[in-house]
Amino acid sequence: MNTTGQASANAASDREEKRLALGYVQEAWAEARLDGIDGDCLAQACLFTALAELVGTYGEDAAATFAEGLSARIRNGEFSLDQSRQ
C-alpha cells in the first residue's frame, strides 16, 4: 500500500475507533442517567476525566493549547446536537 493509501486507511481506522469510543461513552452515560446521576454532574466528571487523559498523554502545555480552542468551537456550534443550519 502506498503512503497515501496507508494514510487514508489510518484515518478511516481512527474515525472508526472514535465512533466506537463515543458509543461506549454514550452507553455509560445512559446507564448513569438511569441510576439518577445528574447530567451536569456527568458532564463535569467527563470533562475532568478527558482533560486529565489529555494531560497524561500529551502534557499540560499541549492540553492547554487544545482547551484554548474549545470556546471558538463551542460558539461555532460544533458541539450542539439540536441545531438547524441554513
* 11-42 residue pLDDT tens: 889 999 999 999 999 999 999 999 999 999 99
Give the model's pLDDT for residue 77. 95
Q: Which amino acid is at 24?
A: Y
Cell of 86: 441554513
Do 63 and 55 touch, CB atoms closer than 8 A?
yes
pTM (global) more than 0.75: no
Closest CA to 43 of 84, 79, 83, 82: 79
Q: Which residue is listed with cell 441510576?
A: 35
Give the model's pLDDT for residue 12. 82
Model confidence band, residue 1 (pLDDT cutoffs 50, 70, 90): low
pLDDT-above-90 percentage for the chain: 77
